[in-house]
Each structure stands twice: as C-alpha cells, then as structure tokens.
Amino acid sequence: MTDRKNSFNTIGLIGKFADNTVGSTLLALSRILKERGCTVYLERETSRNMGEHDLEIITRHEIGKRCDLAVTVGGDGTLLDAARGLVDFEVPLLGINLGRLGFLVDISPNEMSERINEILDGEFEEEHRILLNTVIEHGDNPASESDAFNDVVVHKWEVARMIETETYINGKFLNSMRSDGLIVSTPTGSTAYALSGGGPILEPDMDAMVLVPICPHTMSYRPIVIAGDSVIEIIVKENQNSHAQVTCDGQINLGVVSGDKITIKKKEKVVRLIHPRQHNHYEILRAKLHWGEHF
C-alpha cells in the first residue's frame, strides 16, 4: 500500500445498467483504488451483473451519503443516469469509458491505472455543469417531475401528426408552434439531440439553455439561447390529435395530455465532474465530430 495522500478516500462504483461486460473493468478499478488505501463500495444495481467479488454493496442513495467520489464505468448514458441520482448529494463524478469516445466519460480502460493514480494524487480538473428540473402539471392530478443533465424534450408520441405548443420565458410569451416537438437543452446536451436538430454548440460550463424546435411547420422558427436562470413554460395546446410526452436525457419518459403545463428551470445544485489534468474539450469535439478529417 502506498503512503501517498489521496484526494478521494471513499469511492462508489457504478456500472452500465444490465451490461455483463463491465465486471472485469470494475474489479480492476477496485484493485487500483484499494492499493491506494481507498474504501470502495459497489452500487447494488451494478452488482446484479457482476460475478464473484469481495466489494461491499450499497444503494446509490448510500453512495451519495457515504462517498466523496463516484466512478461510472460504461458510456455517457451511465454518467447521465448517475448525475441525476447523485446531484443532490454534491458527489463528484468521474467516468471510465467502455464504448466509443464520450463527451463526459474520458478515461479509457488501458490508461485507467495511470489516470486514477494521478487523480488520487490531486492531479485533476473539476468542472461544474448545470442540470434542468422539469415539472408537469396535470390539472387536478399529481404533478410529474424529473431532472435532466442533457435535455428535456417535448415531442409527439406514436402518431405521425404535429403537436401544437405555446412557450413562455420568464412569463413572457415567446411563440405558438406546430412541430414534432421542442428540445430544451443544457450546454452539456448541446452536443447531443439538440445538435442533430440544428442547435449551436455551447461551452459546457456556461450558465445557459438552448431551445431547439424539432421539424417546425414554419421554417422561420430557429434555435434560441437564453440565460440559465430563465424559467421556461410550455403548454401543450388542446387538440384531439395531440399525443405527446416529455423525455429527459432519452432515459425517462413522462406522459403529457392536452392542456398540461411543463415548467423547466435550472436545478439549484450543479453536477461536479472530475477530469484528468490533460482534459481538453475542444480535442474531444474534434474527435467526435470529425473536424478537419479528409474523406
């Protein structure tokens, strides 16, 4: 065991949901951390896909209460899910990438030992990113609520018809629009679905949101960037042909009926992301978006 002082001492491990291939990486990671004298916990849901191991199993809620760092093993989707569940505990997140190069998870397994030891030695960068909170008011019925790290998407559901929405920003009417839907994205999500819809790329640590219409009936509707402290209200207008839902981060679906009001605003607490010292967001953009390549 090394006598070097760790920046993080109690660490929770979270693996990609229902993926049996993450076990070997989680076990290798746990060995690295234990060699540094860290206390290591494995998330309960992750343990269901593991073989034999000697790690103590705790819930994600307990990871939030006990740990001073959570490490995800998988892809961006795994970190998105962990961020929503742990943001209220203010636990920093670090991502090990098992898939294609990710925007959020930027350590590959073959460099894991070197990067983890550097981070435990205090050689890291911490970045703060905003989340969105969305509340759907269903008239006299209980409201639905969820957080989103990437985006909140109001979209048509299962029918080849447009939906009609009214959008207000800070109580002021923005527009009435017939479209396939509307994306409300954080800067983190600006390189996800919003980018496919023609939205701009935002600096990931900006305090801002972007609204991107999905296939609007009128081409003059364009993406708009607004301040991060704005409150967005979206009303699905009364229409017998309206079949809509709200999707958060592509992972959580909430039903919407005509007349429901969707309120979206920045969550008070931020996501704390840990990156290796040499982390370079522009380098990731070039690699992911193939800028400068000759085909």
Which residues are part of the catalytic machinery? Answer: 76
Distances from the Cα of 77 to the Cαs of 143, 190, 207, 268, in angstroms?
A: 26, 15, 22, 22
Over 241-288, what HEC string results? CCCEEEEECCCEEEEECCCCEEEEEECCCCEEEEEECCCCHHHHHHHH
Pairing assessment for the beta strands 39-43 and 56-58 based on DSSP bridges: parallel
Q: Which residues sit opposite 168 in a β-bridge?
A: 173, 233
Does residue 77 sit in helix, strand or coil? helix
Decide if 128 contacts 206 (C-beta within 8 A): no
Tell me phi and psi for residue 197, to 5 degrees: -85, 5
User: Residue 201 and residue 207: Cα distance in Å, rounded?
Assistant: 13
